[in-house]
Each structure stands twice: as structure tokens, then as C-alpha cells.
Copies of this chain bind each other. A is one copy, B any other.
Amino acid sequence: MRYVIDFDDAAADLEERIGARARALRRITALGIPVPPGCAVTDVACRRFLETGDLPDEAWHQVVDGAQGILSAVAAIDPGHPTTFAVRASPPVDMPGLVDSVFDLGWTVEVHDASTRWATPRFAAETRRRFAEGYAAVVRAVPVERIEAVRGRDDATTAELEEAAGAIEALIVAETQRPVPPDPLEQLREGIESVFASWDGMPARRFRRANGISDDVGTGVVVHAMVHGAADDDSGAGVAFSRDPVDGAPAPVGCYRPRAPHNLVAADRTNLGADSGLPPELRERLEDALRTLEADQRDAVRVDYVREKGTLWIVDGRAADRSSPAATRIAVDLVDEGALETDEALLRVEADGLAELLHARIAPGAAPEPITVGTAASPGAATGIAVFDSASSLRRAADGTAVILVRRETTPEDLSAVVAAAGILTSHGGRTSHAAVAARGLGTPAVTGATSAHVDAQAGEMRIGTATVQQGDMLTIDGATGSVYLGPVETLPPADGGHLERLLRWADEVRRLRVLANVDTPAGAEVARKAGAEGIGLARTEYMFSGERLSVVRRMLLADDERDRATSLETLEAMQTDDFVRLLEAMDGMPVVVRLLDPPLHEFLPGRVEVEQQLAAARRNGQPTEDLERLEAAVDTWEESNPMLGLRGVRLAVVIPQIYRVQVLAALEAVRRRLDAGGDPRLQLMIPLVASLDELELVRDMIEEEVHFAGRQLEVGIGTMIELPRAALIAERIALESDFFSFGTNDLTQTTLGLSRDDAEEAFLGEYLAQGILTDNPFQTIDRAGVGRLIRTAIEEGRAANPELEIGVCGEHGGDPRSIAFFHEIGVDYISCSPPRIPVARLAAAQAAVVTAS
């Protein structure tokens, strides 16, 4: 069996077994770019080692042959070269937790002497100490702090270096009862085995589990000759990129450090010019190598290089990591240069990264220490004055002042202030809090749940530790990271849309999934339309019952008799009609899917504690308490032990049918007005929380009755939210009465997993993720085995019963690339997500289409 292959061996039969780094180095060698002589060991050797605790003899013999070949090859180039080995992991994909590299293996007294001769005594001493440190820490797992204790200073003299190396070698004996083997091949063997063994360590296992990679493969290993960037003044090391990894500009960038061993050089892009110390002809050769490699890879590349006594060696070469703007620009430029097809370009940009591109960002390096960090609730950076109540916020915003609305948490009453603010900061609530959802719907930056902040609205201030922020103080929030800064911070404007626009246009051409937006307000609709939304997939009507209208809603809920209630309902109808008109106007010609009222009624009432306090106060002061007592009774009536599973959604239509009827009337009236105004309103009404066909029929009948009664041909689609397992399980029946299904994946995840998002994310989801019991947060990425299976079944059976059935997804998963891939796969027609995720969704949908087609 063949376990080892030289870099320059033309045979391709082991390519699949040697890992990515080894493949890259063989490829670079084949392109005629100088790579130190070396060979690769297969993952089969790794597997055998892990199973038996020993390298197979046959594999070891082949490694020895490979090492001899490396020695001969080096000797042929430079007979005096003091040759040692680098052993480096070459796993199938990048995998944190593996031992990455062990350097200078094969260090012996003879090599030490040769090093002194080939370079200087100091070089020999430095290399020896570095070797000993690596051997102790990586091969023998001696605790780093003990090594630190004996390694001496960085600027040690040659004698001190030798002494320190000796001390580390002694430490190895003391800690592991075995000296560094005098046999260079034994050192090589131990090095290879330590890389192999790390495959089974906890960190690597956890990573594989989290990424769905099988434990049963193993890692390849690369062995190559060490080349020395610290040999003399004609030596050095560096990193170079074929294009700028930060902005994607199409020219090489990188760095060079003279007299440096390459493994100590950090990647940066600051200095590859004439003043870097890199001679022009070498820079020329390096840029040639980058060009050759980029042309070969058809992608921006990064190389790690060493200059040894004037000779250039490439020791690593791979696709360059890059920022989202850079990825976008590089992909588009490569198409323009004819290197890529547009389909390939679409796959080169990570969709998730686009969420932030359309927003202002904190300039790199500009951020001071944050005063607190909360949940990154809605992306974008915003600077403004801190304001602690809605009224002031509205007043200041009306003056044109940028305002950061700071609250403990926001409620429906704060909505107009949220709309007017430049950014939102709350001390409570997570990614699904009112503030977070409202901000994302508006594309407004928001940080929520900054728990270390104590917001005192009464006093008009926020205290964090000993610091106090007062009304009017300048704040900056970064909704992409959750950071909050005192004062203004330099921000970059939203990325130049040119490249992104082109990429997304290509995406629009290939994707099959339509992309709609979850927005509730005309302002949100504007933002969504600009981001490329093809309509509204979820307009929550709760907001129509918020703000100053809450008092009307409460009057309705507290009504003593039907007449009282009817009056409040009429008021609400008129208000909602205007809302619907403006929403349909903002999305003229595009579908607008309106969800009938969903939340439990107690959300429209004040909290119990608040009412009790008011009541106690009124009693103390001898004020009339009748109204408060009625309020208390209503709070009693609508209070629930598990509101998520209580009286909400379509259940409201069964118990208080008037509320839905008013919404339907308002929506139909809005359609009529838009038609009269020459518009093209495309209203669809969506019924939430359906669990049975009868519920659906009840509301459907109500809607059709009103449409009929309207006496004019109003075309209104009627659809069902599938957000309970039972709805998915009886999809075949429900489909017969539905024009469309819209999967509410948030609630469907909650019920399928029996997991309250609010409670779980606060209390234990973190623990689940940390212990690897969950690999993904199921509220971010769809749980395929459970929730996904229900969705797939519901689509199949729903379509079988009603081939005209349209299928959408309007949960937050509609903006998650991995979930979008799944939705594409199972035949969803459209996804709907918050405005900031629309570019993400457009690209992810396109990627899914490209991947499926290929």
C-alpha cells in the first residue's frame, strides 16, 4: 500500500487522501514555483495510527524513504545546508484544534554544527531553542507556562540561548521521562504522530461535530525541508496576497520581514513596496508566483514565503481569506477578467457577510474600548445623542437630530419613536425582542440586551459600572457586533454598491426562490424594496394596534357591552385601512402578505405588577378605582401560564371574531381605495397558528363573505401559516382550502422542539451549544431532521392535494443561507426575511440554484 508521495511525483492516485495543504504544495510545485523538497503522508496512515496506536511499518519505511529523498534533494541544491524537517497537518478542510505544524525536526548535534558553519553560531543557537520549545510544547505537551519559565529572554545572547535550549531539553525529560530522541528520524516520527493524535483530541472532534464532518477520516501530513528566513541579511520571510484581502483591489499586497523565521511572521498587507527590504527582482518573482497561482486557481491567493540566502521559497499557498467587500469585488473582477463564469463567482462570496454591506460600519481600527456589549440585534453602525423616552426621541428626531433611543426594553407604545431613531439600544431582550424585530424590519441599527447597563428613564440616564450616560450625550452603537461606544466613532459609509449590485443581479438571474421581506410599515417597505425585495412576505398587523392606538384596543378589550366594543372596533378599522393603503402603495404591483392578528391579547394590556401598583396607589390616595379594577380583571382574564401555546392567532377568531372581521374589512377597503387610485394592489391575507381545517374554513368563510359583500371583484389570496406540527401533518387537508402556505419557522421550531426561544436562549441553549449537544442554534439554522422533515412532508402532501399551492417561508430562517439551501432543495417558492438579510437571501438562493444545477 502506498502511504507517501513526493511533491514532485506526477502520479495523482493519492490526491484524495493527502489533504488540502499537501495538494496545494504539489500543485505549486507542478506550476514550476519553487517549493522546498517534500512529500505527503496519507490520512490512511493516520487512521491506522489512531486504530492501533502505531504507524504501520510499511508507512514508516515509506516516510523514511521520503525523508532521505528530501535530504538528497536539498544536498543537490546546497551541499552545506543543515537540513531539518517541517511536519505540518494537511486535513481535508481547515480544522481548528489540530496540531498545525512542528518545525526543525531532525535537530542533532551534527545539524547544530552544520548550522553554525552554514550560517552563524547565533543562528544555530536560536534555531535550537526554537526547536526545543516546539518539541516540548507540541510533541510532548509540556505545559506552556513551564516552558516560558526556562526559555529566557527574546534578546538573549548566544550563550544564553544555548543554555535556555538545554534547560528546555531537561524540562522535557523531567516532564515526560524521555529525552528528545537523538535519532533525527525518531524526531520526525514523533512529530508526525503528534499531528495524527490531535485528530482525536476534543477540540478537533467538537469542530467536526459542529460542521458535520465524519470522525472516521483522518488528516494527511506534509513533510518538507526547513528553509530559513533568519540565516543572514539576504534572508527573511513574509506573506503576500494576489489582491487586497480587505477591499479586494486588484493588486498584490503583503509584507516582508528581513531575518525572520517564516512561522513568526504575521499576515499583514502593510509593506511589500520598495522600502520593505525585499529586493525588486525577488518581488517580481513573488508577484509572478502570485499571478501564476491565481490564474491556476482562478481566485485570489495568499502565499507564505521564505527568502533563504537570497533564494525564494513558497512554503504555503491557498485561497486568501477576505472581507465581504473584498470577496464581492474579487468575484466580480474575476468575471470581468474572464477568469470566472458568473455562476462560479456567486459561489465565491459568503452570503452571510452581505448583511452588513448595506449599512454604515465602524472604520477598521477606529473603535475605542466599548462601554458595554449586548446582542447584535440589527446590523449597522449609528451615532447620535442618547434619549431615554419616546416623546423626547420624537421631538429631537423631528429637528433632524440623530437620536439613539435608549430603553430598558421597547413596547408597542414606543413604535413611532423606534421608527424615528437612528439607532436603538436596550438593556433587556434578545434577538427576538420587540426592539430587535422592529429595528430589523426598519433596517435601523440596534443593540439589545446590554445587561450591564442600568437604564433609568425617570432620571434620564444610563449607568454602566461607574460611568453614567446622560440624556443628550453622544453614543455610537454597532449593531453588527453589539458594541456600544461613548461619543462619536469614525464610520465607513455603506460599501460602494457597484460590485455588490452586479453580483446580486447575477444572483437574481439564476435563483429560483423569490425573495420577499418581513416588514410592517411603509418605511420598512421602502427599505426592503431598495434592497431588492419582491414584495412583502410577512406584514405583522400588531403594529397597527400599537402606540397611541393602544388605548382604543384596550377600550375594545374592556368593553362592557357589544355597542361599546363596536365603537372601538370602528375606530380601529378606520386606522387600519389607512395603514393598509400605505403598505399597498409602497409595494404597488408586488404581493403584500398580511398576517391577521397573532399575539396573545395580554400583550395589549399593561403588566400585572404595573396595574397592581397603580391600584394600590389609587386606593391610598382615595382616588376612584373602578377603571383600574376593570383593567385588573382583564389582566386576570387574559393572563396565561404558557402564552406561546395559548389564546392567539386564529384562536382569537374563534373567541372574539370581531377583531379579525375588522382587519378583513380594513384590508378590503384598502384594496378598493388603491384600485380607485389606479394602483395595482396585490393583497394576500394570511391566517396564523392554524391547527385544523375548521379554523381555516371559519376565517376563510368570513373573508369570502366580506369579499362577496364588498360587491365588487376584489382578488385576495388566502393562505395559511404552517407553524404548528399538526398543521404540517394535516397539510393535505389544509392545502385544499389554501392559496398558499407560509411556514412560520420560528414557531414551528419552538413547538417541534418544545423549546421556548426566549427562555432557551437565556437559560440553556448556550450550554447545549457549548457541550456540542446542539451543533447549531435551531432558531438560526433550520433543524433539518425535525422541523425540516415536517416542512418537506407538508410541501409534498400539500402540493399533491393542491398543485396550485404556493409555498413560502417567513420565519427568520428565510434569511439564513444554510436554511435557504434547504428551502431551495425541497421546493419552496419564496422566502421572506428582514430587510438587512435581503441581499444575503438573494445570494444564498442563487448559490443553492447553482449548486443544485451542477
Contact = CB atoms under 8 A, between A and B. Distances in A.
Interface of A: 640-647, 651, 654-655, 689, 691-692, 694-695, 698, 723-726, 729-730, 733, 747, 750-756, 758-760, 763-764, 767-768, 771-774, 783, 785-787, 789-790
Given A691-B754, A773-B698, A646 B726 contact: no
Contacts of A753: 691, 724-726
Contact of A755 (B645, B747, B750): B645
Contacts of A759: 640-643, 645-647
Nearest to A770: B654
Given A725-B786, A751-B752, A763-B646, A641 B758 contact: yes
Contact of A642 (B645, B695, B725): B645
B647 A730 contact: no
Q: How many copies does the complex hold?
A: 2
8 smallest beta-carbon distances between A and B, as pairs: A726-B786, A645-B756, A642-B756, A724-B754, A646-B759, A694-B773, A725-B725, A640-B759
A433 to B, nearest CB: 12
A94 to B, nearest CB: 25
A783 B689 CA distance: 17
Given A726-B753, A754-B691, A790-B729, A771 B643 contact: no
B724 A768 contact: no
Nearest to A755: B645
A640 B787 contact: no
Contacts of A747: 754
A755 B783 CA distance: 22
A767 B655 contact: yes
B726 A768 contact: no
A724 B755 CA distance: 10
A161 B764 CA distance: 81
Contact of A763 (B647, B723, B758, B767): B647
Contact of A787 (B726, B733, B786): B726
A786 B729 CA distance: 6
A58 B418 CA distance: 75
A381 B773 CA distance: 50
Contact of A654 (B750, B755, B764, B783): B764
A730 B643 CA distance: 27
A689 B760 CA distance: 14
Given A644-B645, A729-B789, A764-B654, A754 B751 contact: yes
13 contacts: A642-B644, A642-B645, A644-B754, A647-B759, A647-B760, A651-B764, A655-B763, A694-B772, A694-B774, A724-B753, A725-B790, A726-B783, A726-B787
A751 B772 CA distance: 25
Contact of A730 (B651, B730, B785): B785
Contacts of A692: 773-774
Contacts of A783: 726
Given A642-B642, A726-B786, A730-B786, 15 more contacts: A640-B756, A644-B756, A654-B767, A654-B768, A654-B773, A655-B763, A691-B786, A694-B773, A695-B773, A698-B773, A725-B786, A726-B753, A726-B783, A733-B785, A751-B754
